[in-house]
Structure 1
Amino acid sequence: MKIAVVGGTGLIGSQVVSRLNEQGHEATPHALSTGVDVITGAGLDEALAGAEVVVNLTNSPTFDEASPAFFQTSMDNLLEASRKAGVGHAVILSIVGVDEVPELDYYRAKVLQEDLLRAGRVPYSIVRATQFMEFMGAVMSWTSDDDTVRLPSTPIQPIAAADVAATVADVAAGAPVGGVVNVGGPDVFTLDEVGRIALAAKGDNRKVVVDETAGMFGAVKGDVLTAPSDARIAPTHYRDWLAS
């Protein structure tokens, strides 16, 4: 199967391409570095020529109020190019609980991306994943100083990027689901717990202080970022990932 992976050189995309090719598919990575620009549309027609499936893993360069415009333009261009190329399956990567946090600009932008895909004429699948283990360090850095790390007690279910890539590759190689496939890590922690586990693993003696207003996730209410009951559960545990 010929599969175009747009955003195929990033953290998830590069692993999706590798997995699909290992499975015998013909997966090709496309990105700005390969001459494909989802905002101007440059290179999209050529990238999707002959593709049976397109996987869109591009992301907004910012998480602020500019992010909806990125997803509006990029999806418009990608869906039009997919239609012209006769693509039979479009896949995007989104976030578990994304439609439950309207307070966040970026989450509203990702909901817009999902809605545009649903409204398009290309059969589709949406993979929603919980928070990446690889991003926990960045989350902590937003509200850290030399002595303390302030984090809310938001429940999360961290997942390894490799496990996300495996799910995206599996969905891309299958038939369009016309809906959402949720995937999450095997363990649920509060975000402040994740902070303590991460600091301990690194021998970092800073103290984690619970602050329900700290950082982006301070806007999240309840456990909406944890995987629903029908989700696929990935195998990699956070402590094992840190140890590796």
Structure 2
Amino acid sequence: MMKTALITGASSGIGKATAKALAKSNIRLILCGRRKEKLEELQHSLSVESTILTFDVKDKDAVLAAIGSLPTSFQKIDILVNNAGNAHGHGSIAEGALADWDAMMDSNVTGLLYVTKAVLPGMVERGSGHVVNLSSVAGKQTYANGAVYCATKKAVEAISEGIRLDHTQDGIKVTNIAPGAVETEFSEVRFKGDKEKAKSVYAGFEPLVAEDIADAIAYAVSVPDHVTIADMTIYAKAQAAPTTIYRK
């Protein structure tokens, strides 16, 4: 039977690459994001049945309304990929901007919870499902000038563990994916559109690309039913820790 996956943040980066990877496995897709035109562009490139939901994960009412409005053929969600989220700003706690903190907490933690709350009860009722959460190596080790972002990703790790503890008995699998340095729009968002500064993050080494993480997600959801890939940490070859990168 054809499975259905809901992917947040599907309009670009890891989310977009994940949609393409899962499509290769003939998985029906629910593409979620804020930029409808980008989602439509992605949808037209896919060979599998798909539908689009446009909402911001930070908006609880929009999340619940959008997922609640799914056509009958898409209502049985087998795989949830909580990919939406971002880093905003780079500075110490004393210097940090409150708006940046709110944006990260709201999207990386609260938004992830809203989407999970909208999807997980159906999985529990059916006795099967797979939740894939995108944390980060920043959730494994805190680094200077990134405390709040790191805190949000540590929260994702805790939520992944919590869902596993609460719902393994209900037939739910949970996979936590912790990427290292991946060259996407991530740093450009963090540095407020400063393309040169964002580019410098990946200078002197070969970073991961979105497709590397998408391949890991596709693998995790493809293993036999009795197997759970609980946690994956993925570094670029030149990276040994969140801020330890050997550059040429």
Query: What's the TM-score bracket when you normalise by the shorter of the two chains?
Result: 0.5 to 0.7
2:139 and 2:157 in contact (8 A); partners too: no
Please name the residue that 1:65 is paired with.
101
1:130 and 1:157 in contact (8 A); partners too: no
Identity of aligned residues (%): 14
Please name the residue that 2:230 is paired with.
179
Please name the residue that 1:163 is paired with.
212
Gapped runs of 5+ residues in structure 1? 190-222, 228-237, 240-244
> Which amino acid is the alignment partner of residue 116 of structure 1?
I
Please name the residue that 1:77 is paired with.
114
1:38 and 1:78 in contact (8 A); partners too: yes
Aligned length: 189
> Which amino acid is the alignment partner of residue 82 of structure 1?
V
Please name the residue that 1:20 is paired with.
22
Deviates more, 1:88-97 or 1:30-39: 30-39
> Are positions 1:118 and 2:161 aligned together?
yes
Structure 2 counterpart of 1:92, from 133, 140, 144? 133
> Which amino acid is the alignment partner of residue 217 of structure 2?
V
1:188 and 1:226 in contact (8 A); partners too: no
> Which amino acid is the alignment partner of residue 180 of structure 2?
T
1:68 and 1:110 in contact (8 A); partners too: no
Shift of 1:62: 2.9
Describe the shift of the 1:26–1:226 C-alpha distance in structure 2 as closer, same or farther (beyond 3 A): farther
Shift of 1:29: 1.2
Q: CA RMSD in A?
A: 3.6
Shift of 1:178: 6.2
> Are positions 1:142 and 2:197 aligned together?
yes
Deviates more, 1:88-97 or 1:166-175: 166-175
| Aligned mates of 1:126, 1:109 — CA distance in 2 | 14
Gapped runs of 5+ residues in structure 2? 37-52, 90-99
Please name the residue that 2:54 is paired with.
35
> Which amino acid is the alignment partner of residue 197 of structure 2?
W
1:95 and 1:130 in contact (8 A); partners too: yes
TM-superposition CA deviations, 1:96-128 (whole Å, max 9, x none): 253311642111111112212321345310111
Which has more radius of gyration?
Answer: 1
Q: Is the helix fraction higher in 1 or 2?
A: 2
Give 3-state SS (helix, strand or coil) of 2:23's partner: helix
TM-score, normalised on structure 1? 0.63
Shift of 1:28: 2.6
Alignment map for 1:185-200 (pairs within 5 Å): 185=236, 187-188=237-238
> Which amino acid is the alignment partner of residue 160 of structure 1?
V
